[in-house]
Chain A
Amino acid sequence: MKKQILAIICASVLTFSLTACGGQDGSSSAAPTGASSKTEAPSTAENESKSDSKKPKIGFVFNDVSGDTYMTTYYSTAQSYAESLGIELLALDSQNDMTKQANQVRDLITKKVDTLIIWPCNSEGGVASAKLAKEANIPVMTANTPIDKSGEEYLTCHVGPSNVREGEETTKQMIEDLGGKGKFLYIDGKPGYSTSTQRQEGVKNAIEGTDVELLESQTGQSSRDKSQQVMENFLIKYPEGSVDAVMCFDDNEAIGAINALKAAKRTDVKVYAVACGDYNTLSYIEDGTLAGTALQSPITDAKTTMDFALKVAKGEKIDTFENSIETPVATPSNLKSLNVEKW
């Protein structure tokens, strides 16, 4: 009998430990009672919240929070920024597992969130989840990574970096640096990967009608080593004076190309990366080895997404479907003036 009592005590510890977890959370972001939410309402940044004393409840399923620095920073920024906006953010981590993500979406639907944001584990798998939420009359938006075209009918909007625009803007910077005339090489990302094709599309858009010529494009498989090899081969094929710049799919590939140039002691080729999501790469811009890249900051990404989510939760109309975040092109000369927040 004593043992059974002990067992019951254990069980109640279990349930209380659960509520303790929730309690912690409640004190930081959620306001469980109506009274406290009223007292917190005036402190929110938005003045429009007079009419609705209830905090908007936004559900967010993340792809993989611990995946890399970008995602980790994004996650923590989203949480702190949501708090400052007076949003009750329910942020769940799918740990890159589609099955978990599908279940979490279902849990958030039962929780009746005002808006659901999905950062899909993979584009195709996100479609079913978006459909389900839409059928439950919850507005859905995607963040950072878009879902497959077939699922767009279920979405209110998408917020994230625009790969095409990044390609265009970085290439424009390169054209400007080259004085409107020159020859360049392109090191592509993984073939077939949507980000690769979109960035390449942007690059091609930008050089159309200019005197800048794309000599050759090869894949660097989005990897530093592979890109370095590609660049080494390029340097043999194109001797000094025959090429002015190399554009890489991302900063990782660009660093590979920079390594190859250093090893060959060549300084005639400028290196560009279409986009960069890693803060450490900024040191390459500082010392001038990387001539330009579109800075894709997770902080901007997260904040823009939360702004849009708040609008959607309030029932405001979103005019455009694709909403790209600010990705300013950083060069050695303007890096200081951009005041990049560290991540």
Chain B
Amino acid sequence: MNRTYINKIRSFMATNTVVPILIICFLGASIFVDTFFSMSNVLNLLNQNAMKGIMAIGMTFVIINGYFDMSIVTLMSLTAALSSGLQPSLGTGLAIVVALLVGTAVGAINGFLVTKARINAFVATLAMMLGCRGASYIYSGEKTIIPKSEGFLAFGSGTVLGVSYISILFILLLFVAHFVLRYTKHGRNTYAVGGNARSAFNAGIDCDKTTFINFVICGFTGGLGGVLYAAFLGAASPSVGWPDLHMMVIAAVVVGGCSLLGGIGNVWYSLGGVIILGMISNVLNLLNVQAYISTLCTGLIIIVVLYVDRVMHMNRKRKKT
């Protein structure tokens, strides 16, 4: 009885390698870094990374589908600027809606470029990234825009028992995304298309439609991320997140254990990845590592984490979640 229990845990750990890696990192950081292990810092970790996490949710859909989206970093700065800059003329609610619609539209264009125009996803979304960057600089006139609405700012900085509203939204979205991936037709199609597009097509799945929807989801979360960042930072500058936020989001999803080739992964993996990367930067900051070394360390640690993940995977049969 006891043994089967241990075996169960072991097989769970071997399948979901992000869990033991997260535990190791967390224990290591708690032991060696004072002030890491405190309630306030753990909550700080969650609150800092909630926006990135929300974008990682959208990215998870696209990555399971076998693609990735480079455009969210500048899409985010564009929607941050729009949601702040339109507040005086349209009102806060409408400004947010417009920003989210822009995010969704950009996602739809990405989806169109990839599925209908048959442009490689890397190049198409890279072009979109540049386009959005230009648009956000043009819209904001190179200036930082301050959101005027009190409620908007209060939402960005407000907390319940130390957990920010944005984190709560993040957790809710995690459950929604989990439900969609696990229990809806679209979710199952996403795994099928990402796993093997040809057999999915032969099985009668509309691959293009699935991919298109996933890009739209990713665009939406990118737009939402921008709105939330504007509220969180209390300001929207066109350079926000530039130059590497999209790469960190993709890295988080991959560190979590989603396969870049598609077909494998879930949002909980991405949550783990976001927390691991957040923890690395948090620990490096707490340790006061010299600026240039800190960037170098982040790169090295990501490689080590991925290697550990690879080694732990070797025992495990390649199996779809």
Residues of A within 8 A of B (CB): 3-4, 6-8, 10-15, 17-19, 21-22, 25, 29-30, 62, 65-66, 75, 89-93, 95-99, 102-104, 106-112, 121-125, 127-128, 131-132, 148, 150, 192
Answer whether residue B32 sits at the interface, using C-beta atoms and an 8 A cutoff: yes
Contact among B32, B35, B232, B311 with A102 in the assembled complex (CB-CB below 8 Å)? B232
Are B47 and A22 neighbours in the complex by a CB distance under 8 Å? no
The chain B residue sitting closest to A132, CB to CB, is B157
Are A103 and B240 neighbours in the complex by a CB distance under 8 Å? no
Are A18 and B41 neighbours in the complex by a CB distance under 8 Å? no
Are B144 and A11 neighbours in the complex by a CB distance under 8 Å? no
| A324 CB, min distance to chain B CBs, angstroms | 24
From B28, B290, B315, residue with most partner A Cβ within 10 Å: B290
Are A97 and B239 neighbours in the complex by a CB distance under 8 Å? yes
Residues of B within 8 A of A97 (CB): 239-242, 245
The 0/1 profile, CB within 8 Å of A marked 1, for residues 123-147 of chain B is 0000000000000000000011110
A-facing residues in B38-64 (Cβ within 8 Å)? 38, 40-41, 44, 47-48, 51
The 0/1 profile, CB within 8 Å of A marked 1, for residues 281-295 of chain B is 111111111111111
Residues of A within 8 A of B297 (CB): 17-18, 21
Are A124 and B291 neighbours in the complex by a CB distance under 8 Å? no
| A128 CB, min distance to chain B CBs, angstroms | 3
Contact among B35, B237, B314 with A125 in the assembled complex (CB-CB below 8 Å)? B237
Residues of A within 8 A of B237 (CB): 98, 121-122, 124-125
Are A124 and B144 neighbours in the complex by a CB distance under 8 Å? yes
Q: A22-B288, A128-B234 provided; 8 other pairs, C-beta below 8 A?
A: A62-B291, A65-B291, A66-B291, A90-B288, A102-B232, A107-B44, A128-B233, A128-B235
Answer whether residue B101 sits at the interface, using C-beta atoms and an 8 A cutoff: no
A122 to B143, CA, bound (A): 9
Residues of A within 8 A of B308 (CB): 7, 10-11, 14
Known interface pairs A99-B241, A104-B285. Does A91 touch B315 (Cβ–Cβ under 8 Å)? no
Are A103 and B281 neighbours in the complex by a CB distance under 8 Å? yes
Contact among A3, A66, A90, A121 with B292 in the assembled complex (CB-CB below 8 Å)? A66
Are B291 and A25 neighbours in the complex by a CB distance under 8 Å? no
Q: Nearest 7 pairs between A and B by C-beta?
A: A15-B28, A93-B291, A128-B234, A22-B287, A124-B235, A107-B285, A125-B235
Are A125 and B285 neighbours in the complex by a CB distance under 8 Å? no
DSSP class of B's interface residues: helix, strand, loop or mixed?
A: helix
A187 to B44, CA, bound (A): 47
Are B307 and A10 neighbours in the complex by a CB distance under 8 Å? yes
Are A21 and B285 neighbours in the complex by a CB distance under 8 Å? no
Are A3 and B229 neighbours in the complex by a CB distance under 8 Å? no
A12 to B284, CA, bound (A): 16
Residues of A within 8 A of B301 (CB): 14, 17-18
Residues of B within 8 A of A6 (CB): 311
A99 to B231, CA, bound (A): 12
| A222 CB, min distance to chain B CBs, angstroms | 12
